[in-house]
């Protein structure tokens, strides 16, 4: 009498072995991702690296600007001679407030030699010179702010595009393999969601930094305007006394 030996079903074992060999680390997810998803990830990582470079640069620059503004205002309101301050600051302008002061003093001294200058015209020229320098300096300080704003508003959607593309490829692979078990679906879904995670990592610091720097730059711009108005009032008073 023949005995029939029943072989065990190896399908589940093979599937489990395939999942066990699938690398679910961050590097493994990147390497096993689709080519388009890899391009999205690389682009987001590069943008994130550049945004952090801008963030550190802006933070150090703003810190030094407020420190220099405090030092300059202490010298300006110390009661010393404006000519002496101009001789010291005008040779090497290192911050926007010193540049505004130097521009006003330069215009004032340039008009000193004219015969009976009109105080109204001179006052307007000085205020215009301070405004031009102030606007130019603020334009320099606001450089790269647009990149932070754009990255903060678009990085999440770019990462979502990579996720959608990866999920589409995963579903196509599932349909071809005709196997919808979670063990087969999970690796492809994880690769796709990794793109969204990178998008969030790039977007969140950019948004926070943009909001922080925008407030700080607005404070500094108001400080420049206040100094320009105060210095303009001092010049106007001296012009009135010199009539």
* Residue 13 confidence (pLDDT): 42
Contact indicator for 165, 194 with CB cutoff of 8 Å: no
pLDDT interval class at 12 (50, 70, 90): very low
Structure confidence at residue 94 (pLDDT): 79
- Segment 204-230 mean pLDDT: 93
pLDDT in tens, 89-116: 877 777 889 899 988 888 888 776 555 5
What pLDDT shows up at residue 186?
64
Q: How much is the mean pLDDT over the chain?
A: 80
For residue 169, the number of C-alpha atoms closer than 13 Å in the C-beta half-sphere is 18
Instruction: Report yes or no: 34 and 165 within 8 Å, Cβ to Cβ.
Output: yes
Q: Tell me what pLDDT residue 3 has.
A: 47
Taking the C-alpha atoms of residue 143 and residue 147, their distance in angstroms, rounded to an integer, is 9
pTM of the predicted structure, to 2 decimals: 0.77
Length of the chain: 243
Show the CA angle centred on residue 132, arms to residues 129 and 138, nearest 5°. Answer: 135
Buried b / exposed e over 152-182, threshold 16 CB at 10 Å, is beebbebbbbbbebbbebbeeeeeeeeeeee
- pLDDT for res 83: 83
């Amino acid at each position: 009498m023949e005995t029939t030996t029943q072989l065990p079903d190896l399908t589940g074992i093979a599937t489990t072995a395939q999942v066990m060999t699938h690398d679910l680390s961050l590097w493994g997810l990147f390497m096993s991702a689709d080519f388009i998803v890899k391009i999205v990830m690389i682009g987001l990582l590069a943008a994130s690296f550049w945004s952090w470079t801008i963030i550190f640069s802006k933070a150090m620059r703003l810190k030094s600007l407020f420190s220099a503004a405090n030092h300059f205002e202490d010298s300006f309101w110390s009661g010393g001679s404006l000519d002496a301050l101009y001789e010291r600051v005008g040779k090497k302008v290192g911050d926007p407030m010193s540049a505004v002061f130097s521009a006003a003093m330069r215009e004032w001294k340039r008009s000193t030699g004219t015969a009976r200058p009109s105080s109204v015209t001179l006052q307007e020229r000085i205020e215009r010179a301070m405004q031009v320098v102030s606007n130019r300096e603020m334009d320099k300080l606001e450089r790269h702010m647009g990149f932070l704003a754009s990255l903060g508003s678009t990085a999440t959607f770019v990462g979502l595009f990579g996720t959608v593309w990866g999920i589409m490829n995963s579903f196509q692979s599932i349909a071809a393999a005709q196997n919808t078990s979670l063990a087969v679906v999970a690796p492809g879904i994880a690769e796709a969601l990794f793109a969204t995670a990178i998008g969030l990592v790039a977007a969140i610091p950019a948004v926070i930094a943009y909001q922080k720097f925008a407030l700080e730059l607005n404070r500094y711009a108001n400080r420049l305007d206040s100094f320009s108005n105060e210095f303009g009032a001092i010049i106007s008073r001296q012009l009135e006394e010199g009539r």
